[in-house]
Amino acid sequence: MAKEKTDMIKLLKPIAFCLITATIIAAGCRRAKADETMATQALQEVSLKGLEIVSYPIGMPAVEKEYHGFNVNFNPKNRTPNYVVWTLHGDETEGASSRSNKFWTDNEVKGCASTRDYSRSGYDRGHMCPAGEQKWSDEAMHDSFVMTNICPQKHELNSGAWKTLEEKERVWARRDKSLVIVAGPIYDADSDETIGTGKVRVPSAFFKVILAPMAEPMKAIGFVYPNMKCPGNMSNYAATVDEVERITGLDFFPILPDDIENRIESSMSYKEWNSNKKAHGNDRVK
């Protein structure tokens, strides 16, 4: 599967290059006609979907499934996701759908944990793709509570620094129009703690990488939080995407042209990300 995905990325890379270029150029233009607006939106969805591709190591247990609003790459051995990926548009940060709090087991996915595995475990049912970003759709809100999207997370992290990051990314989505986000657990080699009769593996830490493809210039940032209370400023937990890739073994945004991928993944500025000003510049995809 991994080789097929690599071959597909090589095939799609030049196509994605053209689509992303057209998307960013189109984003700066005002469309007077409805059909032109619809075409631009459709083009944006195609290119952003390409950016949701993540390459993972050969041999990693993986079951992929698409839900409303996000995709999961699930590890049946750990009984947690390898990663969850979604695109967050600025106009999706608010909506009429209320939080359901109805966690459910996806019986179609081998190894999906039961909600009972978390009962009295000392860990929260921690969302990777947050319910707070699925208010735009009742179906998306429902799906966000699927157990394939959940990891054992210390309450101090879930209700603290991790929640703060989720709130901040919604601010950034409104500022930069759209974000592509990938989140998931990190396991130390000697980490063998599990919870429940299903033996759900407890992560040592969590990662999140965020790409702003519509920003000028395009930019990305990563975060790594240990699975515990994480005091202090968010900048203390910020990292380059390259650093997160080294920790996880995953390859994010491989469909981008190599020069752009190398630039945005090798450096980051938390100060720039935390600015309320929209980014402008000449470093567009060309």
- Mean pLDDT over residues 46-64, rounded? 91
Q: What is the pLDDT of residue 108?
A: 97
Domain residue spans of the chain: 2-273
- Mean pLDDT over residues 113-131, rounded? 97
pTM listed for this prediction = 0.84
Q: What is the pLDDT of residue 139?
A: 96
Average pLDDT of the chain, as a whole number: 86
pLDDT band at 43 (very low <50, low <70, confident <90, very high): very low
* DSSP assigned state of 88: E
Residue partners of 137: CB distance under 8 A and separation at least 6: 68, 69, 95, 97
Tell me if 174 sits within 8 A of 144, measured CB to CB.
Answer: no
User: Does the pLDDT at position 45 exceed 90?
Assistant: no
- Mean pLDDT over residues 90-102, rounded? 91
Q: Residue 66 in 3-state DSSP?
A: strand
* DSSP assigned state of 78: T
Q: Which CATH number fits domain 2-273: 2.102.10.10, 3.30.70.1450, 3.30.230.10, 3.40.570.10?
A: 3.40.570.10
Residue partners of 163: CB distance under 8 A and separation at least 6: none
Q: What is the pLDDT of residue 7?
A: 53
∠ CA(167), CA(168), CA(172), 5° rounding? 125
Task: Kindly report, residue by residue over 150-202, the tens digit of the pLDDT.
Answer: 999 999 999 999 999 999 999 999 999 999 999 999 999 888 999 999 999 99
